[in-house]
Amino acid sequence: MHLFINENKLNDEIKSNLKENGALFIHPYNKIYKEVKEFTNSDVVLVHPDRMNYELYNNIDKEVITEISSSNKLDAFPAEQGRFIRPSFESISSFGEHATIVTCILLMENSFMIVTV
């Protein structure tokens, strides 16, 4: 297994533990971009859902982001990976006054602006 990480964040004990548990190759974090470009359709890629917000986070201050647009963007990422049919459930995210509503269904009329340009 290949692990892409800032090696400065790892002490010797952690590095040893990683190697013992299957992280055979440790690479600088930014080397991952070259590797991703070389993926083929037969490659198996494990994606950590908590890390899928990277692109959304990097677009803050570049475009207006609402509750609906952020939900749509997050749904688009797995769709780009192929074999995606549809989201398993409606977005359960919320912002502002909606944050107290656990199952708020968003409509254009009630979608709060999260970020303005």
Question: How do residues 28-82 score in pLDDT, each as one tens digit?
Answer: 888 888 888 888 888 877 766 666 566 656 766 777 878 888 888 888 888 888 7
In the predicted model, is pLDDT for residue 21 greater than 80?
Answer: yes
For the full predicted model, state whether its pTM sits above 0.85: no
Shared domain for 8 and 57, answered yes or no, is no
Shared domain for 57 and 100, answered yes or no, is yes
Shared domain for 51 and 21, answered yes or no, is no
Shared domain for 39 and 56, answered yes or no, is no
* Full domain range(s) for residue 35: 1-44
Shared domain for 109 and 67, answered yes or no, is yes
Shared domain for 51 and 104, answered yes or no, is yes
> pLDDT confidence of 115, banded at 50, 70, 90?
low
Shared domain for 32 and 59, answered yes or no, is no
Shared domain for 10 and 34, answered yes or no, is yes
CB 109 within 8 A of CB 68: no
Q: What is the mean pLDDT of residues 111-116?
A: 66
* CA distances (Å), origin 75, targets 32, 52, 64, 110, 113: 23, 10, 17, 19, 18
Shared domain for 5 and 56, answered yes or no, is no
What is residue 13's predicted lDDT score, i.e. its pLDDT?
92
- The residue among 74 and 95 whose pLDDT is bigger is 74
Q: What is the number of structural domains in the chain?
A: 2
DSSP 31: G
Shared domain for 65 and 111, answered yes or no, is yes
Shared domain for 40 and 51, answered yes or no, is no
In the predicted model, is pLDDT for residue 84 greater than 70?
Answer: yes
Shared domain for 40 and 55, answered yes or no, is no
